[in-house]
Amino acid sequence: MTELSRRAFLTRSSAAAGGLALGVGAGCSGSDDGAASRDGDGAEAPGTTAAPPFDPGDWASVRAQFPLRSDTAQFAAYVLAAHPAPVAEAIARHRAGLDEHTHGYLGATEADAEIGVHDAAAEYLGASPAEVGLTDSTTMGLGLLYAGLRVPAGREVLTTEHDFYSTHQAWQLRAAREGIAVRRARLYDDPAAASTEAMVGRLMDQVTPATRVVAITWVHSSTGVRLPVRAIADALAAANAGRGPDERALLCVDGVHGLGAVDAGVGDLRCDFLVAGTHKWLFAPRGTGIVWGRADAWGQVDPAIPAFEPNSFGEWRNGLPPAPTDGWRFTPGGYHSFEHRWALAEAFRFHLDIGRDRVAARTTDQATALKAGLADIPGVRVVTPAAEDLSAGIVCFDVEGAEPAAVVDRLAAAGFDTSVTPYTDAHVRAGPSIVTTPEEVDGLLAALRAG
Ligand SMILES: Cc1ncc(COP(=O)(O)O)c(C=O)c1O
């Protein structure tokens, strides 16, 4: 680790512990010795297969970066990501370095790599690097955030009927520990007919002066409905007018099916916290995720797991109280599968190179075509709204007289990978993305028409 990168890492961590004499980088990696590097030897990184040159402007080249088999159209890539070549190469490079000289590579790489991930995530989100915390998944992010958010006595939590298990159960566990009241709003009865006005109205009807947290999901994996997060944030801001940071109702969003599918940064959403695994639509390393918090909201969270970032570590060694939380301090410590974590930077760069707007347009155009085609097939009912501003990449539908699992099996036999929504009210779910093509959308529709 060079002195410059060490200083940069320390400076970018929360400023509060300035002046501490830290002898370590994050954690105890320790060494300033040079480390093994596989860079620059021209050899293909182990564990990767050659992909054609990456041209971010060419969708065929984008698709060719993925080793995904081409005899199956990948309409369920949102379940868990495949790694595109730049991400796979970064993983392989870090893995080789760690395998070759573990302690040396860690010491030489950790500071720059961690900074690189925070910087890339911040650029993608339109945020500041210190506002970004790193986790292993959406579920871990939600669990840690909802365990650590300060909910004063007498205050309540509002979620919705449409959130995933991870949100519901995180609050269930907290409620069981502390007796916090958690209520659920129903935002729509018929998802296909959902409207911004009705959803904002139904949610805000449930917000009371006791509401401390509003925990919602950007894109519902049960129906494909995309919530108007910005409109909800604006309505909540009006309800919060005149309240201090300890009093405000905080808007927290499970963003996993929006991030990498919708062209929006945190400035567009205006929520207080955005939690997302990056191993779905962003095609980042499996086992990675982010929690973004607004700079003035992070102070309302107590970390549940000690961070290994240098300032937190230094406070412990110097017997000082912890400074207020930020993204660095929220990031759970302990050593990680660093080859995956550090390659997250390349995943954000991959999307930034293509363009967040172009990825979203590619996803939306195919989803819109799919919904329009489905609506024309007799016996098929589209569950997801047709409106592009109320949906994203997830398209849910039912086929009259057929169980969703049977439809998914039939499509799989025809070469189209889809899935069943993991909810009581199950539907067939298909997710066009940068690894599918408009021709494959046509093929999926033809397979359904063929019955
Ligand atoms: C809305 C939603 N949130 C969270 C998750 C879980 O994501 P992760 O695997 O990143 O924890 C899922 C599905 O896997 C989901 O549909």
User: pLDDT for 169-185, tens place per residue?
Assistant: 999 999 999 999 999 99
Cα 119 to Cα 34, 273, 328, 342: the distances in Å are 24, 18, 12, 12
Helix 438-450 × helix 356-375 angle, to 10°: 20
Residue whose structure tokens are 């971010």: 56
Considering the chain, what percentage of its residues have pLDDT values greater than 70? Answer: 89
Please give the average per-residue pLDDT across 348-355, as a whole number. 98
Cα 140 to Cα 36, 112, 147, 276, 342: the distances in Å are 32, 24, 10, 9, 18
Check pocket membership of 289 for ligand 1, CB cut-off 6 A: yes
Please give the average per-residue pLDDT across 335-349, as a whole number. 98
**Beta-sheet strand order (sheet of 395-399):** 380-382, 395-399, 428-430, 419-420
Mutate to test the pocket of ligand 1, among 280, 291, 344 (most ligand atoms within 8 A of CB): 280
pLDDT over threshold 70, residue 228: yes
pLDDT over threshold 90, residue 269: yes
Angle (CA) 252-257-259 rounded to 5° is 75
pLDDT over threshold 80, residue 143: yes
pTM of the model: 0.92
Check pocket membership of 218 for ligand 1, CB cut-off 6 A: no
Tell me the CA–centroid distance for residue 11 and ligand 1, in Å: 33
Considering the chain, what percentage of its residues have pLDDT values greater than 90? Answer: 87
Distance CA 116, CA 80 (A): 23
Please give the average per-residue pLDDT across 407-411, as a whole number. 98
Distance CA 429, CA 186 (A): 21
**76-80, 94-98, 200-204, 244-248: lowest mean pLDDT where?**
244-248
Please give the number of the atom of ligand 1 that sits closest to the Cα of 254.
Answer: 3
- Contact yes or no for 114/9 (Cβ under 8 A): yes
User: For the chain, first and last CA: distance in Å?
Assistant: 60
Q: Of 435, 362, 342, which is closest to residue 121 (Cα–Cα)?
A: 342
- Which residue, by CA, sits nearest to atom 12 of ligand 1? 164
Under the banding of pLDDT at 50, 70 and 90, the label for residue 451 is confident
Over the Cα atoms of the chain, what is R_g? 23
Check pocket membership of 224 for ligand 1, CB cut-off 6 A: no
As a three-state string, the secondary structure of 392-423 is CCCEEEEECCCCHHHHHHHHHHCCEECEECCC
Mutate to test the pocket of ligand 1, among 79, 134, 135, 138 (most ligand atoms within 8 A of CB): 138
Distance CA 369, CA 351 (A): 23
Under the banding of pLDDT at 50, 70 and 90, the label for residue 447 is very high
Please give the number of the atom of ligand 1 that sits closest to the Cα of 137.
Answer: 10
Distance CA 361, CA 336 (A): 34
- Contact yes or no for 105/35 (Cβ under 8 A): yes
The reported pLDDT for the residue numbered 7 is 46
Burial of 353 (0-12, 13-18, 19+ CB in 10 A): middle
Cα 67 to Cα 51, 64, 84, 123: the distances in Å are 8, 7, 7, 27
Please give the number of the atom of ligand 1 that sits closest to the Cα of 277.
Answer: 10
The reported pLDDT for the residue numbered 244 is 85
Give the tens place of pLDDT for each residue, 372-390.
Answer: 999 999 999 999 999 999 9
Mutate to test the pocket of ligand 1, among 221, 259, 423 (most ligand atoms within 8 A of CB): 221
Residue whose structure tokens are 């919904």: 371
Give the tens place of pLDDT for each residue, 66-110.
Answer: 999 999 999 999 999 999 999 999 999 999 999 999 999 999 999
Tell me the CA–centroid distance for residue 405 and ligand 1, in Å: 20
